[in-house]
Structure 1
Amino acid sequence: MSTPGGTPRGGAGVATPGVGERAVPARSPGTAQATQPGPGRMMAGGMPAEKSLDFKGSSRRLLRMLLPRRAAVAGLMVLGALSVVMSVVGPKILGEATDLIFAGWIGKQLPAGSTQAEVVAQLRAQGKGTQADIFAAMDLTPGHGIDFHAVGMVLLLALGLYVASSLFTLVQGRLTTTVVQHTVYDLREQVENKFARLPLRYFDGQPQGEVLSRVTNDMDNLSQSLQQTLSQIVTSLLTVVGVLGMMFFISPLLALIALVSVPLSVYASAKIGKRAQPKFIQQWATTGKLNGHIEEMYTGHALVKVFGRQHESAEIFREHNEKLFESSFRAQFISGIIQPTLMFVGNLNYVLVAVVGGLRVASGSLSIGDVQAFIQYSRQFSMPITQVASMANLLQSGVASAERIFALLDADEQSEDPDNAPRAKVVRGEVEFDEVSFRYEPDRPLIDHLSLKVQPGQTVAIVGPTGAGKTTLVNLLMRFYEITGGRILLDGVDVSTMSREDLRAKTGMVLQDAWLFGGTIAENIAYGAPDATHEQIVEAAKATHVDRFVRTLPDGYDTVIDDEGGNVSAGEKQLITIARAFLAEPAILILDEATSSVDTRTEVLIQHAMNSLRTGRTSFVIAHRLSTIRDADLILVMESGSIVEQGTHDDLLKAEGAYARLYQAQFAEAMAEVD
């Protein structure tokens, strides 16, 4: 997945969301879901609700997603209708076979030569009126046995109908798979494109595991739910209509009796389903929380062990796991009650139909074959209702997942780039902050009326205590956040009038958190310049001291590293990200604490690499180690979002202000470490 603006999250070479002291406050290992208010902790996304947002609205929205494939959906319904028609006609035809067999068996018992009317009259004369009514309703010939040829033809016709029905069902299933998978494919693309339009503050306010759960677990659950329910619901509804028509055709009285169970079934399903839906919402919300905790504990497992927080981590996992178990158990149990409840109602209906049907046969109003067919129809009538009820848990679970995905798709987006945005072919690198103001929260200002002008090719160092707004400043330049007042100009052009893609394409960023992607070292270096040749990659590696250690690896530049760069050291990862930025040849360079987590020897190498990288480029360097920025053209000292001092290293030391105090504090600390 891409991060906002289609850029990688971390590393260098192309612009990436800044990760600094203001962007994402640290969470302790034991509090995976902590959401502390304050600058940088954006709550726009929020935690997932445990209450259904809009079941009906989400269902309709889900159905609207099928409209682009309306032809396939129409074909699916036609095939389903043909399959249902053939399967519905089957019992009636089998009833005819039963009548033929029964009439042949009775005819064999009667004396040959007599007529059906004579036999019926004789039975009435003997006082056997019920038997006479039954014989009168039958098509029999006294003395003739079973017509096996006629029975065989009827059975062959029934077999042909059932085979054709199965074939149509098979093709319908294939169409269903095509429709569902293409729909989910489109939905995944919408989510991917949405990520490119989401502002950084959305990701600041969402645990990574929660976001991943929505685009993986919820997406897969929605896919399975649609796959298992879409065609079945269509078939079930058509079966209800077809079976009901045949039931009224055979016997309106029995059909009315069968319909008595429908309101009861619908009422039971609605009441139980209403109680189950919130549990499914809670189930998937808890799943997201559990995934967030697991993801955080896995990525920070070393820190958890160092501080001995395994027990607390396991306890939080147990709590989330227990909540997930409870919500899942309740959701599945409550929705599972629907099917046995409807089966009980269906059995009562079966008994009524059998009793009344037997009385109708005795009166001669119906044949045994018709009653047999009607009983089959009554089962077929209740079966689709039971099937729909049994799919209630799938439907509710799928809609619950759809709601969570739709909530992601409906999240507030960053403002659109202006039409016909200016595109500069050559960037000199002049940067100006003109009365810039910014606040993460409306009532908590961070930067107020800040003005600054940087000449092309200058190296500007930004120093100050944690939380002063150093990383925020460069994030505003990159438009990861939008300013609330003033202007930021690049070569005299307001960056708000430029497209983000064009702005960030001219900027390279090396972060404190050196992020590498799964792939070879060469691929990681070329991430910001995918068209680079191998020679250009090697040249960039040599200029940034990467080539030195790559040559010692068995596979050289083809060495495969994992997505976290676990098989290379922290310093080597940092050098690779610098090489990535070097190869991209940005006009503006941002270095955010690029040497804070490496040893002194590696820091010297990184400094040399960064010096090569900064040559001829406007550079912004954020650093806590003041010894690394002595040669900067301009040093900005920030406190509480304001520039309190600016000048060269020597000038600021002579001024004996905030910078001098910071420098002396670090010098005293270094002397204490030596002592």
Structure 2
Amino acid sequence: MGIHADEDDPFEEQRERAENPMRRLFVDYGGKNTFAFVVGVLASTAARALDLLPPILLGFAIDSVIRQDKAFVAPLIPDAWVATREGQLFVVTALVAFSFFGGALFHWARNWGFNSFAQHIQHDVRTDTYDAMQRLNMDFFADKQTGELMSILSNDVNRLERFLNDGLNSAFRLGVMIIGIAGVLFYFNWQLALIALVPVPVIAFFTYKFVEIIQPKYAEVRSSVGKVNSRLENNLGGIQVIKSSNTEDYESTRVDGVSRDYFDANWGAIETRIKFFPALRIIAGIGYVLTFVVGGLFVITYETTGGAPGPFTQPLSVGEFATFILLTQQFVWPMAQFGQVINMYQRAHASAARIFGLMDEPGRLVENPDADELVVEEGRVEYDDVTFGYDDAETIVEDVHFTVEGGETLALVGPTGAGKSTVLKLLMRLYDVDEGAVRIDGQDLRDVSLQSLRRHVGYVSQDTFLFYGTVRENVAYGSFDATDEEIVAAARAAEAHDFIQNLPDGYDTMVGERGVKLSGGQRQRLSIARAVLKDPEILVLDEATSDVDTETEMLIQRSLDRLTADRTTFAIAHRLSTIKDADQIVVLEGGRIVEHGSHDDLLAEDGLYAHLWGVQAGEIDELPQEFIERAARRQARTDSETGEADD
């Protein structure tokens, strides 16, 4: 596969399906945190209002205290305090100090409000996204890589938090500044204020074009981040294979490829940004220069004639001009910074579309919220003419029909791709049948709750997964209220207690990520101990001893014999010696049952099972040519489907 084989966004379908993702973010999640949001908005408004006081007070002090061109008017201030110029200066200074100290308090409240709002939403969105993700059907995960999913749970959710905190904070701050400053400017001199506002429509147009250009670029960046994460996650997980295959250079090239795709996508967005923001500053600067020049003419004319220059009619004093210049500077830069808010919004919009698209991913498996609890009394399992396919183009199992009485063991055998694992996935209702029904004690699995079904079915896989944590935590996984005595008893039954005792910290030994500190046989016995502790009425064994040595297989088989006693058991096995004592053996080929009976009966039939037995007994020379040719065709078909055929 080439390093650029998959250029499509793996979540493009989900992203396009999400409608009004930002509106949904505020409606579905913002409403739960209204108090923090209101605190942030009100505090931001008050803080910015106080920030406007120093320039206004400066202009007032210049005209009324220093130059004494205007009367000193201070409502609510005792006349004795402002009877002298020094007193007037101290009052103005006190008001300036109040604006700084009060502003600091409101800035703290503003930051608390927006941070609390953003953090709570980030937590809720991440947990809801994970919860929705883990409830999706297994075929969804077959099409997505772990790194891509991690990118949504981590990068995209974090990007939302940054917008909700920094972006909203800045938006309200800039909004208050722009409205407040514009109001003050119009109050002092509406004619000069119009001059100062000349850049506003130009900035608005440039911002609109920026949004139009940057939005698809950010969607491309989000997609490329997921691909980088997927490649790195795969390579780190397979580092042993890479080293043993001497393919470090090859994998470095592949990482370089996806990293280069991310670089190109991100650099395209960066180039747009670094052109946009300097252009905004230039436009805003032009407005500032115009204000300075025209305002200066206003002051000169007022000083010499007491009027206004040219066609203008409103005069402007020195103090008012100083206020105008200071506020215009504060007005200009917020207009330029508003593009940063738009930039953050577009990035958040791209992330929100991926998040809500994933949340809304329809599940093929539909559970009735009013479903009954599964009641298992005998453990009788019936497959009634079951047909199933993962998509409309291919049927994996067809017309499968058998019954297993409570306490019996049924083994599923057959060549690779025959549909064995699929049959058992239907029992655990990882998928729903297309035709027919699967029943436990007469109850159709589609009519019972998933939790109750999986509570009664235990699963021991060939590929044992252990979570990062202690041995004790892994044995008790799914049976979280188990006592230490029950955990030890389960480990003894699984032939695991002795080796656990020899670990450095016994049951408190950390097993490492995915259990890398334990051997395959040890991991398998912990998985069996987990199933023993769960004590299910129905047990599924999926190649439970295929990847261990003969001595370990003997130990595992002893623990399995204890585990399967008096339980309805389903076992998949390529190593036929492990299931020859099963009550029933079902032989699958091409998704259909071709043989069904006991070990001795199937050997006597001299069919597919007998031939498979002969292969494992080393009697290859005695096998019919037709069987060998069919095996070759099956293998070729499996290889051509690149793993799509289910075992």
Give the TM-score range, shorter chain: 0.7 to 0.9
Mapped contact 2:374–2:449 kept (Cα < 8 A) = no
Residue 444 of structure 2 corresponds to which residue in structure 1? Answer: 494
Residue 46 of structure 2 corresponds to which residue in structure 1? Answer: 82
**1:547-594, Cα deviation, whole Å (9 max, x unpaired):** 121222232222221131111110110011011101111000000011
Shift, 1:665, TM fit = 1.6
Mapped contact 1:97–1:155 kept (Cα < 8 A) = no
Which region of structure 1 is more displaced relative to structure 2, 330-339 or 653-662?
330-339
Residue 367 of structure 2 corresponds to which residue in structure 1? Answer: 417
The amino acid of 2:128's aligned partner reads: Q
The residue correspondences of 1:92-491 to structure 2 (distance < 5 A) are: 92-100=56-64, 102-103=66-67, 147-364=85-302, 365-491=315-441
Counting matched residue pairs gives: 598
Q: Secondary structure at the match of 2:52?
A: helix
Of the three residues 510, 513, 522, the one matched with 1:563 is: 513
TM-score by length of 2: 0.88
Q: Secondary structure at the match of 1:433?
A: strand
Q: Give the Cα separation in 1 of the matches to 2:462 and 2:402.
A: 24
Identify the structure with bigger relative contact order (alpha carbons < 8 Å, sequence gap 6+): 1
The amino acid of 1:288's aligned partner reads: G
Q: Secondary structure at the match of 1:636?
A: strand
Mapped contact 2:40–2:112 kept (Cα < 8 A) = no
- Structure 1 segments of 4 or more deviating over 6 A? 30-35, 669-672
- The change in CA–CA distance for 1:283 and 1:420 in structure 2 (over 3 A counts) is closer
Q: Give the Cα separation in 2 of the matches to 1:394 and 1:269.
A: 13
Mapped contact 1:593–1:622 kept (Cα < 8 A) = yes
Q: Secondary structure at the match of 1:644?
A: strand
Q: Secondary structure at the match of 2:515?
A: coil
- The change in CA–CA distance for 1:51 and 1:343 in structure 2 (over 3 A counts) is farther
Which region of structure 1 is more displaced relative to structure 2, 161-170 or 416-425?
416-425
Shift, 1:511, TM fit = 0.4
Shift, 1:620, TM fit = 0.5
Mapped contact 2:494–2:559 kept (Cα < 8 A) = yes
The residue correspondences of 1:15-26 to structure 2 (distance < 5 A) are: none
- The change in CA–CA distance for 1:417 and 1:543 in structure 2 (over 3 A counts) is same
Q: Secondary structure at the match of 2:593?
A: strand
The amino acid of 1:90's aligned partner reads: P
Q: Give the Cα separation in 2 of the matches to 1:643 and 1:46.
A: 40
Mapped contact 1:33–1:293 kept (Cα < 8 A) = no
Mapped contact 2:365–2:431 kept (Cα < 8 A) = no
Mapped contact 1:32–1:292 kept (Cα < 8 A) = no
**1:351-410, Cα deviation, whole Å (9 max, x unpaired):** 111121122223321101111111122122222222221334333222222222122111
Of the three residues 510, 526, 530, the one matched with 2:460 is: 510
Q: Give the Cα separation in 2 of the matches to 1:69 and 1:414.
A: 33
- The change in CA–CA distance for 1:669 and 1:469 in structure 2 (over 3 A counts) is same
Q: Give the Cα separation in 2 of the matches to 1:52 and 1:157.
A: 52
**1:145-177, Cα deviation, whole Å (9 max, x unpaired):** x93332232232122123212321221111111
List alignment gaps of at least 5 residues for structure 2.
73-83, 303-314, 623-647
Q: Secondary structure at the match of 1:352?
A: helix
Q: Give the Cα separation in 1 of the matches to 2:489 and 2:258.
A: 51
Shift, 1:101, TM fit = 5.2
Q: Give the Cα separation in 1 of the matches to 2:300 and 2:490.
A: 97
- The change in CA–CA distance for 1:406 and 1:653 in structure 2 (over 3 A counts) is same
Residue 61 of structure 1 corresponds to which residue in structure 2? Answer: 24
Q: Give the Cα separation in 2 of the matches to 1:203 and 1:54.
A: 19
List alignment gaps of at least 5 residues for structure 1.
1-27, 36-44, 105-136, 141-145
Q: Secondary structure at the match of 1:435?
A: strand
Which region of structure 1 is more displaced relative to structure 2, 520-529 or 464-473?
520-529
Shift, 1:272, TM fit = 2.4
Which region of structure 1 is more displaced relative to structure 2, 146-155 or 196-205?
146-155
Shift, 1:417, TM fit = 2.7
Mapped contact 1:46–1:205 kept (Cα < 8 A) = no
- The change in CA–CA distance for 1:626 and 1:643 in structure 2 (over 3 A counts) is same
- The change in CA–CA distance for 1:437 and 1:51 in structure 2 (over 3 A counts) is closer
Which region of structure 1 is more displaced relative to structure 2, 63-72 or 594-603?
63-72
Q: Give the Cα separation in 2 of the matches to 1:615 and 1:432.
A: 20
Of the three residues 73, 82, 100, the one matched with 2:37 is: 73
Q: Secondary structure at the match of 1:270?
A: helix
Q: Give the Cα separation in 2 of the matches to 1:269 and 1:427.
A: 68
**1:204-247, Cα deviation, whole Å (9 max, x unpaired):** 11101111111012222222232211111111112111111111
Q: Give the Cα separation in 1 of the matches to 2:478 and 2:49.
A: 60
Q: Secondary structure at the match of 2:67?
A: helix
Q: Give the Cα separation in 2 of the matches to 1:336 and 1:669.
A: 73
The amino acid of 2:579's aligned partner reads: I
Mapped contact 1:474–1:590 kept (Cα < 8 A) = yes
- The change in CA–CA distance for 1:669 and 1:341 in structure 2 (over 3 A counts) is farther
The amino acid of 2:479's aligned partner reads: A
**1:598-626, Cα deviation, whole Å (9 max, x unpaired):** 11111111111111110000100000011
Q: Give the Cα separation in 2 of the matches to 1:615 and 1:455.
A: 13
Question: RMSD over aligned Cα, in angstroms?
Answer: 2.4
Mapped contact 2:64–2:70 kept (Cα < 8 A) = no
Q: Quick check: 1:48 aligned with 2:11?
A: yes
Mapped contact 2:9–2:223 kept (Cα < 8 A) = no
**1:185-221, Cα deviation, whole Å (9 max, x unpaired):** 1112211321342111111111011111110122222
Q: Give the Cα separation in 1 of the matches to 2:334 and 2:14.
A: 29
Residue 656 of structure 1 corresponds to which residue in structure 2? Answer: 606
Q: Secondary structure at the match of 1:206?
A: coil
Q: Give the Cα separation in 1 of the matches to 2:33 and 2:372.
A: 39
Mapped contact 1:273–1:335 kept (Cα < 8 A) = no
**1:84-140, Cα deviation, whole Å (9 max, x unpaired):** 222223322210112235525xxxxxxxxxxxxxxxxxxxxxxxxxxxxxxxx7569
Residue 117 of structure 1 corresponds to which residue in structure 2? Answer: none
- The change in CA–CA distance for 1:554 and 1:51 in structure 2 (over 3 A counts) is closer
- Percent sequence identity is 35
- The change in CA–CA distance for 1:495 and 1:636 in structure 2 (over 3 A counts) is same
- The change in CA–CA distance for 1:480 and 1:424 in structure 2 (over 3 A counts) is closer
Mapped contact 2:4–2:258 kept (Cα < 8 A) = no
The amino acid of 1:473's aligned partner reads: V
Mapped contact 2:43–2:106 kept (Cα < 8 A) = yes
The amino acid of 1:277's aligned partner reads: Q
Q: Secondary structure at the match of 1:282?
A: helix
Shift, 1:337, TM fit = 2.6
**1:7-48, Cα deviation, whole Å (9 max, x unpaired):** xxxxxxxxxxxxxxxxxxxxx8x879879xxxxxxxxx9713
The amino acid of 1:293's aligned partner reads: R
- The change in CA–CA distance for 1:278 and 1:34 in structure 2 (over 3 A counts) is closer
